[in-house]
A = this chain, B = another copy of it.
Amino acid sequence: MTDQRTLRVAMIGHAFMGNAHSQAWRTAPYFFSLPLRPELALLVGRDAGRAAEAATRLGWTESSTDWREAIARDDIDLVDICTPGDTHAEIAIAALEAGKHVLCEKPLANTVAEAAEMTAAAEKARANGVLTMVGFTYRRVPAIGLARQLVAEGKIGDIRHVRAQYLQDWISDPEAPLSWRLDKEKAGSGALGDIGAHIVDLTQFITGDRIVELTGRLETFVKERPYPAGDTSGSLGGGGTSVERGPVTVDDAASFLATFSSGAMGVFEATRFANGRKNAIRIEINGSLGSIAFDFEDMNVLEFFDATQPAAVGGFRRIIVTEAEHPYVAAWWPPGHGLGYEHGFTHQVVDLVTAIAEGTDPSPTFADGLQVQRVLDAVETSSETRTWQEIPQ
């Protein structure tokens, strides 16, 4: 590994996503033969002490409180953005202008305008060989990769139905405290952008198709919540809540009907109020030749119905997606030895590093992220105006 070229990474943010990305940067080289060796060079956080602690804990060489330092340094090749959505555009555009590759967490931005600016900057940078990627990591779950393959190989036929739900329950309790994820300024939207974005991306990825119009509805069930204990700033707090309450300014749940360009009917739902559903990303696709079904709560499995089989032996088969033939799996363990949530991030690193080494576009690019943003924006507009909205293509 010693004479291998390195890819020096600066990561901005060190919360949930920062933790997951760190594990991916650390782990990818041990299981995959990467053309570039990632170096966890610099970790950026708002608070010096906490950033330094996080750098040590997560395996980064240095820490800083200023993301501009990452941009300014010559020895940083890639900026990995793991901060809330309101900061994505500024950081990403600066990084691209400085010639850094950018991996940006989803959703790409909090508004279409920002996402469009980022995409424009990405296109400009692309001319200089600078690449972008949005962190729709669930694409890299092997079962999702297999779903994409089955559709691409024509095993599902013409797609008639796309049915997607992303169900969580972590704020089902009205006394769950406020956090930045419930603040429109920081998060852009609620369930829609946080988790709805994933099922928009996943269904478009699996079908290889795009949503062209939709009608939707957002709802906020609990309009006010307690601030976290000892903190009225709305940050994601620790244990306990304050007696003081503040407004929830984002949606608790989103639902929408959609049409794909093929004419397929889409039905989407994202919520944090589905009691008992912890991280249920459920996707079912029905086509003229077969169907597929997935639920992230059983993430190593893809269900597949092959309508060309005789009726007497037809049925959804439960494919345990842990065979060497399945996407990404050969690098890991024998059949039946399942992967976990974090492996999608590792696969993302593998695909990104490979694309950078080969000079090809990673998938999904900022342009893909912008299109998802337009879908989310259309849901918001549709919910406000109670009309169908077309998605600009």
Residues of A within 8 A of B (CB): 1, 16, 20, 22-23, 26-27, 30-31, 56-59, 146, 150, 155, 160-161, 163, 165, 167-170, 172-174, 215-217, 219, 221, 252-253, 255-257, 259, 263, 265, 267, 269, 271, 273-280, 284, 286-291, 296-301, 303-307, 310-320, 322-326, 333-343, 386-388
A43 vs B221: C-alpha distance when bound (angstroms): 53
- Cross-chain contact B215 with A336 (CB below 8 angstroms): no
- Cross-chain contact A298 with B298 (CB below 8 angstroms): yes
CB contacts (< 8 Å) of A161 on chain B: these are 253, 269, 271, 273-274
Which B-chain residue is minimally distant from A293 (CB atoms)? Answer: B276
In the assembled complex, the CB of A98 is this many whole angstroms from the nearest CB of chain B, namely 29
User: How many copies make up the complex?
Assistant: 4
Main secondary structure of the interface of A (DSSP, over half): mixed
CB contacts (< 8 Å) of A57 on chain B: these are 30
Which B-chain residue is minimally distant from A337 (CB atoms)? Answer: B341
A259 vs B173: C-alpha distance when bound (angstroms): 21
- Cross-chain contact B168 with A336 (CB below 8 angstroms): yes
Selected from B263, B271, B288, B296, the residue in CB contact (under 8 A) with A174 is: B288
CB contacts (< 8 Å) of A286 on chain B: these are 167, 169, 172, 271, 273-277
CB contacts (< 8 Å) of A322 on chain B: these are 278-279
Central interface residue in A22, A23, A284, A300, by most chain B CB within 10 Å:
A300
Selected from B163, B299, B317, B333, the residue in CB contact (under 8 A) with A317 is: B317
Selected from B168, B173, B275, B339, the residue in CB contact (under 8 A) with A291 is: B275
